[in-house]
Chain A
C-alpha cells in the first residue's frame, strides 16, 4: 500500500465519521462551533498517531489474552499526557472540551485502529494510518462544526456575519447535531465516496 493511499483512505474511504460512524459521542457533542470541532479532532489525532505508533511497536511482545488491557493502558497514558499539555498551554480550550478529552480513552476510533491496523503493521505505516484517520476525523468534525455554527449562531470560526446573535438555536443543540450529521453523511456518500 502506498503511503499516500494510507492517508487518503482515512480521509475518504474509511472516514471515521461519515463512513465508519465511529466516535459519534464526541462528534455530536463537541461540534457546536467550527473551532471546537477542529480542536476535538486535533486532540484525537494526537492520541491516535502516538497510540498507533506505540501499539504497533509493542504488539509482537503482547500476549493475546491481555492485549486489550495493554492497549487501553497505552491509550490512557497518551490521553492523560494530552490533558496535562492542554491544561498547561490551552486552558480555555481544555475547559470547552471538558469531559470529552478524557473520554478519548474509550473512543472506538482509537482502539479500533489499534485492533484493526496498528497491531498488524509497522510503526511507520501505523503512524501514517493514524494521521489519515485522525485527519479524516478532524475534517469531518470541523465541517460539521462549521455548518452548525453558520446555521445556529450565524458565524464562522467565531466571525459573526449576520450581526446580533440570532441564529437558529436548534442547530447549536443536540437535535441540530443529528440533523446536520445525517445530511452531511448523505452528501458525503453521494458525492465523495462514489468517486
Chain B
C-alpha cells in the first residue's frame, strides 16, 4: 500500500488494470472461439444422431427450429426442437420424426426438473423407450391419467405431461413442414 490514493493514481491503476484484463480476455476469446463452436456443434450433432437413423448431412431451419437430416439424396427425417414448461422450468426436447410421421426417438436437451422425480425423464428406461417408434396415428398422445397411451413417470405426472406436450408440438411442426413441402 505504498501508493497514495490521489485521483491520478486511482484512475491510472484502475484504468490500466481494466485495460490489461480486457486485452487478456480478448485474446482468450479469440483462442477459444473455435473450440467452443466445435463443442456446441458436436453437442447438436450428437443429439440429432440420438433421435434419428444414420444420416450424412443436416441443415438447420432457423424459423421452424428443426434440422433436416439427409443421407445423400434421401430424406432421413427431421429433428425438431421444442420447449414446454415442466415442473421446475423449461423442458427442451429434440424429437426425431421419420418422413412417414412416426417418431424415431426423443431426447432431452435441457430441463430443470426435480432430481430423482421429474429428472428421471432423462434416465428412466421404460419412459424413454416408449417413444421409440411411437406412431401418433395409432396411439393416443396423452398420459394414461388423461386417457392416452403414454406411460407417465411415477410421481411425475406434470413432467410427463410436459414431455408429451413437447412431442405433440414437434408433430405439429412436422405436419407444417410436410404441408409446406409436398402438395399431395
Write out the residue numbers on chain B whose beta carbons fall within 8 Å of the beta carbon of A59.
Answer: 1
Q: At the interface, yes or no: B18 with Cβ under 8 Å from chain A?
A: yes
Q: At the interface, yes or no: A4 with Cβ under 8 Å from chain B?
A: no
Number of interface residues of A (CB under 8 A): 33
Write out the residue numbers on chain A whose beta carbons fall within 8 Å of the beta carbon of B25.
Answer: 77, 80-81
Are B24 and A77 closer than 8 Å at their CB atoms?
Answer: yes
Are B36 and A172 closer than 8 Å at their CB atoms?
Answer: no
Q: At the interface, yes or no: B116 with Cβ under 8 Å from chain A?
A: yes
Are B17 and A70 closer than 8 Å at their CB atoms?
Answer: yes
Are A91 and B39 closer than 8 Å at their CB atoms?
Answer: yes
Are B36 and A84 closer than 8 Å at their CB atoms?
Answer: yes
CA of A58 to CA of B13, assembled, Å:
10
Q: At the interface, yes or no: A65 with Cβ under 8 Å from chain B?
A: yes
Given known A62-B13, A64-B1, A81-B25, contact A87–B116 (CB-CB < 8 A): no
Q: Which residue of chain A lies nearest to B124 when distances are taken between CB atoms in the complex?
A: A165
Max count, chain B CB within 10 A of own CB: residue among A77, A165, A173: A77
Which chain A residues numbered 1 to 52 have a C-beta less than 8 Å away from chain B? 32
Are B40 and A91 closer than 8 Å at their CB atoms?
Answer: yes
Are B115 and A63 closer than 8 Å at their CB atoms?
Answer: no
CA of A173 to CA of B17, assembled, Å:
41
Which residue in B3, B36, B114 is a CB contact (below 8 Å) of A87? B36
CA of A80 to CA of B31, assembled, Å:
13
Which residue in B18, B39, B116 is a CB contact (below 8 Å) of A152? B116
Are B32 and A61 closer than 8 Å at their CB atoms?
Answer: no
Smallest Cβ distance from B128 to chain A, in angstroms? Answer: 13
20 extra A-B contacts, CB within 8 A, seeds A61-B2, A77-B24? A60-B3, A63-B13, A64-B5, A66-B5, A66-B13, A70-B13, A73-B17, A73-B18, A73-B21, A77-B21, A84-B32, A85-B32, A88-B35, A89-B35, A91-B39, A91-B43, A95-B110, A152-B115, A167-B116, A173-B114
The 9 closest A-B pairs by CB, nearest first: A88-B35, A65-B5, A77-B21, A63-B5, A84-B32, A169-B116, A172-B115, A91-B39, A88-B32
Using CB atoms and an 8 Å cutoff, list the residues of chain A in contact with chain B.
32, 58-66, 69-70, 73-74, 76-77, 80-81, 84-85, 87-89, 91, 95, 119, 152-153, 165, 167, 169, 172-173
